[in-house]
Amino acid sequence: MHEAAIAEELLKIVLEQAKVNEGRPIVGKVSYGHFYAINEEVLSFAFKAIAEGSVCEGMKLVVEHKPLKAHCKMCGSDFVFDITKCVCSGCGSEEFDMFADEPLILEEIEFETE
């Protein structure tokens, strides 16, 4: 259950930012790559549970999935890799390099405005 560990990590960052911004965070935008097998509901639930009682209580997590990308060796284009096709979307070639998967990052925190 690595969602709990991720939620803890996120909360730590948000709490630090909340201190700097002296505001109450209401929305956190998280993004990660294709191969992160994260259950969004579990993550949100875990975050909600540990945020209780802190300045982050009631904060919402918005999750964005970054598509997997590849670079075609034949036509030179970068394309979004479709796991069901496994060919370049531009020329149909099977000669391509996969890009590294996107890491999990906290992209943005929205603070309550008064």
- As measured in angstroms, the least distance from the Cβ of 71 to Zn ion is 9
| Chain-centroid distance, C-alpha 76 | 27
By beta-carbon proximity to Zn ion, the closer residue of 7 and 88 is 88
Residue ranges in 75-104 that form contacts with Zn ion under rule CB under 5 A: 75, 88, 90-91, 93
How many CB atoms within 10 Å of residue 20?
Answer: 8
Per-residue binder mask for Zn ion (CB under 5 A), 57-76, x = binder? ---------------x-xx-
DSSP assignment string, 51-107: HTTSTTTTPEEEEEEPPPEEEETTT--EEE--TTT-S-TTT--S-EEEPPPPPPEEE
Residue ranges in 24-53 that form contacts with Zn ion under rule CB under 5 A: none
Q: What residues line the site for Zn ion (CB under 5 A)?
A: 72, 74-75, 88, 90-91, 93
